Chain A
Amino acid sequence: MSRLPALEIQGEGFFAKTHEIAVDGVPALAALLQSGHASGGVGKPIASVLEPAERRRAPISVALALHVAAEACAAAGADPKSLPAVFASTHGDLGITEYMCEVMATAPRDLSPTKFHNSVHNAAAGYWTIGTGSMHAATALSAFDCTFAAGLLEAAAQAIDGNEPVLLVCYDIEGSGALGEITGSVGLVGYATVLAPCIAQSPAARAALTLSRQSGAANPVPAPTPLAPFRANAMWDAVVFAAARLQPTVPGRRGGLLLPLTPDSSLKVEWT
C-alpha cells in the first residue's frame, strides 16, 4: 500500500461539548487527558474571524468550525489568508437541514433565503474565506462514517502536492427531531490542524506523521475514559486522533492509529 511522504502538524485547534462536559482548546484537552477532569466553563464556539453581526448570526456548525480553525492557525503562527483549506463534516449543519425539511413540509414559500445559502455543505468554508480574506482554494467534503480520515488524506494530499501548509477543519454537531434520530450525532466536536510537508530538523518535526492505506476495516479504537462523552458524535475519529497525538500512552498510539477510510480499508497514521 502506498505511503505518503512525512507531514508535520504545525498547530491544532479543538473544541468539544456535550451536556456533561465542555473542552475548549488543545491545552484543555491535554489537561483533561492528564487529570481526568474537564477544566470547567461552559464554553461556546465563536467565529472570531467574522464581523460582529455575521458572528452573531453564524449557524452553530460555522461557529464551531471557525473557532477551531482560528486556534489551529494561531498555534501554527500561520496567516489564515495564506492557507488552502479542507473542511470535512459527516452531516453538515443538521439543524439547518431539519429546518429546510420542516419548512418544505409546511410552508415552502416561507423558506429563509439566508438559511438556504447557509445550508450548503461549504458554508463554513465560505464564511472562513470571507472572514479571513483568503482567496486560496477551499473544499468541503464528506465520506459518511469515514469523513475524518478522508479529510485528513485530502489535506495531506494537497499539502504534499502543493508543497505548502494546508488547513484541515473537521466538525460535526448534534441533530434533533426526526433527522437527529436517524443521524444519531450527539454534542459538538471540532478539530483543526495546519498540516505541512515535513521539513527535517524543523521544530515541528516532533509532531510528524506518515499516512498510508491498509486493507481491512479499522476496529474501533479504545479511547481514554474522559473522552467517552464524545464517542456519540459523528466526528469521534477526530477526537481519537487529537488525543492520540497528545498522549503517548493512549492505546492505539504506539504502532500507529487505524482510522476508517472506506468500508473495506483504513488510513494508518504513524507518528515518526
Chain B
Amino acid sequence: MQALPVTAFTATTALGHGNAAQWSALSNQRSGLAPNDFTDEPLATHIGCVADLDTPLDGHFAEYDCRNNRLAERALAADGFADAVAGACARYGADRVALAVGTSTASIGETEDGYRDLDENGHFRPDRRRPIVHTPHSLGRFVAERLGLGGPQTTIATACSSSAKVFAQAARLIRLDLADAVVVGGVDSLCASVLFGFNALGLVAPEPCQPFDRARAGISIGEAGGFALVERGGAGPQLSGYGESSDAHHMSSPHPEGLGARIAIESALARAGLTASDIGHANLHGTATPANDSVEAALVASMFPATLAAASTKSATGHTLGAAGIIEAVFALLALERSVAIGTIGLTDPDPLCGPQIRAANEARPFNHVLSTSFGFGGNNAALVFSRAGAT
C-alpha cells in the first residue's frame, strides 16, 4: 500500500502523561503497576492507574463527563496533539478530518455509578440522565466535538484489537478520498465490570503480570488514552501496513495454533511490501495469560528470524484493553524514532516456547520497520507495521 505519514502521536498511561513520561519509564524499565485500590470490593491484583483524573469536564462538555472522557481530555492535552489536529483542520477543512477511535469500556463506569445510586423508584438520578455517556460512542462523539472534527466519526469496539483496527479504517478513508486526515486513537478506563469480569474468567494475576515468563499467571488491567494523526501527506514515521483477521475459534481463548494471528501479521507484511526478516522490533500482544503467550511465542518463533527483538510492554502499563492498540502503536513509533527495541519488564525465566526473539532487556539498535500485534475477545486480530520515513 501507499504508506501514510503519522504526523503526530501521544500516549497517557500509568507511566505518566505524554510521550516523554512513557519513554522515561520504558527506557529505565520502570513499571507503572501498583496494587489494586480502585474497587470498593477488594480484589487482589495489580492495576495500571492514571493519576489525577478528578477534574470534571465542564461548560460545554459537561454532558460528556465520566472517567473515560476525562482520560481522553488528558491524553489530548499532551505532546501538542490537539494543536496538530487544529492544524490539519485548518489545512484541509474540518469536514475532511475524520475520526476513528477504539474502546472496550467506553463510559460503562459511569453507568455502573448510576446503578449504584438509583433513586427510590429505580431510576437514574437527574444529573446522571445523559444519554451520550451511557452508550459505546461516548468517546467518539466527545473527541470529535472536542477537536471540532467534521468528517466521518466512528467508535470501533472489538475488545483488545479496537484501537489497532482504527489505523486500517483511517487508511481506507484516506485512500477512498473520504478524508485527508484521520484522528485515530483509543481510551479505556478502570471500572468494576472489567476488573471483576476478567477475574471471573480466571485471567487476572494477583502479582504484577509477567508476559512470556514461565511463571506468568494472567493479566494486570490498566487504563490509558492515546491518539495519532494519520494524514494523506506530511512528515513523520509511516503506517506502511496493516492486517485484520478472525480466529473463528472461541470467544475468550485464542486459536491454539495462532492461525488468525498469523493471517493478520502476514497480511500486514504483504501490504507493507516486506518480509518477516525486514522487521527489526515487535511490540507483541503479550498479555501474560498462559494461552495468549504460548500461542504468540510459538508463532513469533516460527515466523521471524532470531534477529527480531520482540517484547510485551503490558508489564509496564498493564493490559489497557480497548486502548492497547494505540498505546502499543505509540510505543512502537517511539522505539522506531529512538532506535531502541523495548524489552519486557519482569521477564526473568522465559517460557520454553519462546524463541530467541523475545527479549527482557531494552536494546539500542537502529531498525527501519516495527510490528505491533493486538488480539481481542471473539478472536479479533490486528497487526500494524510502521516504518521510518523513506524506508518503504
Measured CB to CB, the residues of A under 8 A from B are 2, 4, 90-92, 97, 100-105, 108-109, 111-113, 116-123, 125-127, 129-130, 132-144, 146-147, 150, 153-154, 157-158, 160-161, 177-179, 181-184, 213, 215, 261-265
Known contacts A108-B196, A113-B197, A120-B377; decide if A262 and B153 are in contact (CB<8 Å): yes
B219-261 Cβ-contact flags toward A at 8 Å (1 or 0) = 0000000000000000000000000111111111000000110
Binds A, one of B106-114, B278-286, B309-317, B359-367: B106-114
Q: How many residues of B contact A (CB 8 A)?
A: 70
Residues of the A chain whose Cβ atoms lie less than 8 Å from the Cβ of B169: 139, 154, 157
With A4-B176, A117-B377, A183-B135 known as contacts, the answer to whether A101 contacts B111 (CB < 8 A) is yes
Please give the distance in Å from A243's CB to the nearest CB on chain B.
24
A-B pairs, top 10 by smallest CB distance, nearest first, are: A126-B378, A121-B157, A116-B197, A137-B244, A101-B115, A129-B246, A144-B137, A113-B200, A142-B136, A122-B158
Measured CB to CB, the closest approach of chain A to B179, in angstroms, equals 9
What CA separation (Å) do A138 and B137 show in the bound complex? Answer: 18
CB-CB nearest in chain A for B179 = A2
Counting CB contacts under 8 A, is B159 at the interface? yes
In the complex with contacts A135-B260, A183-B131, A122-B377 CB distance below 8 A = yes
Residues of A within 8 A of B91 (CB): none
- Closest B residue by C-beta to A102: B115
How far is it, in angstroms, between the C-alpha of A121 and the C-alpha of B251 when the chains are bound? 12
Q: How does the 8 Å CB contact mask read for B141-160 relative to A, with 1 for contact and 0 for none?
A: 10011000011111111110
- A139 adjacent to B165 (CB under 8 Å): yes
Q: Assess whether A111 is in contact with B196, with CB atoms less than 8 Å apart.
A: yes
B178 engages A213 (CB within 8 Å): yes
Contact A143 B155 (CB under 8 A): yes
**Given A104-B196, A122-B158: A158 in contact with B124 (beta carbons within 8 A):** no
Q: Mind listing 28 A-B residue pairs with CB under 8 Å?
A: A4-B178, A92-B157, A97-B111, A100-B108, A100-B197, A111-B199, A111-B200, A112-B200, A113-B200, A113-B202, A116-B198, A126-B379, A127-B378, A129-B248, A129-B378, A130-B378, A130-B379, A135-B259, A136-B245, A138-B378, A139-B156, A139-B158, A140-B156, A141-B155, A143-B153, A157-B169, A157-B176, A161-B176
Q: Which of B95, B108, B178, B197 contacts A111 (CB 8 A)?
A: B197
Give complex CA distance A102, B115 in Å.
Answer: 6
CB of B104 within 8 A of chain A? yes
Known: A144-B141, A153-B178, A265-B150. 17 other contacts (CB 8 A): A4-B178, A117-B197, A117-B251, A117-B252, A122-B157, A122-B158, A123-B378, A126-B246, A130-B250, A140-B157, A142-B155, A144-B140, A161-B172, A178-B114, A213-B95, A261-B152, A262-B150
Inter-chain contacts of B250 with A (CB < 8 A): 130
In contact, A101 and B197 (Cβ under 8 angstroms) = no
Do A143 and B137 contact each other (CB < 8 Å), given the known contacts A101-B108, A117-B201, A150-B153? yes
Q: How far is the CA of A138 from the CA of B245 in the complex (A)?
A: 7
Interface of B is mostly: mixed
Chain B residues with CB under 8 A of A116: 193, 196-198, 200-201
A177: chain B residues within 8 A (beta carbon): 122
Contact A120 B172 (CB under 8 A): no
Asked if residues B263 and A135 are in contact (CB atoms below 8 Å), the reply is yes
CB proximity of B293 to chain A, nearest CB, Å:
19
Contact partners of B172 in chain A: CB under 8 A? 157-158, 161
Tell me, yes or no, whether B41 is within 8 Å of chain A by CB: yes
Chain B residues in 8 Å Cβ range of A178: 114-115, 118, 122-124
CA distance A110 to B380 in the complex (A): 27
Smallest CB–CB gap between A145 and chain B, Å?
A: 9
Beta-carbon contact of A105 and B111 below 8 Å: no
User: Judging by beta carbons under 8 Å apart, are A265 and B95 in contact?
Assistant: yes
Q: Does B57 contact A (CB under 8 A)?
A: no
Q: Do the beta carbons of A181 and B108 come within 8 Å of each other? A: no
Does residue B39 face the partner (Cβ distance < 8 Å to A)? yes
Distance of A168 from chain B, by nearest CB (Å): 13
Residues of A within 8 A of B260 (CB): 135
Query: At the interface, yes or no: B175 with Cβ under 8 Å from chain A?
Result: yes
| Contacting residues, chain B, for A181 (C-beta < 8 A) | 123-124
Give per-residue flags for B28-56: 1 if the beta carbon is below 8 A from chain A beta carbons, else 0.
Answer: 00000000000101000000000000000
B76 at the interface (CB under 8 A from A): no
Q: Is B177 an interface residue (CB 8 A)?
A: yes
Most chain B beta-carbon neighbours within 10 Å: one of A108, A215, A263: A108
Q: Which residues of A contact B124 (CB under 8 A)?
A: 178, 181-182
A137 to B246, CA, bound (A): 6
| B150 and A119 form a contact (CB under 8 A) | no
Instruction: Check A179 against B154 for contact (C-beta < 8 Å).
Output: no
Residues of A within 8 A of B249 (CB): 130
A113 and B152: CB pair below 8 A? no
Please tell me if B116 contacts chain A, counting CB pairs below 8 Å: yes
Residues of B within 8 A of A135 (CB): 245-248, 259-260, 263
Q: Which residues of A contact B104 (CB under 8 A)?
A: 120-121
- A261 to B141, alpha carbons, bound, how many Å? 12
Chain A CB within 8 A of B215 CB: no
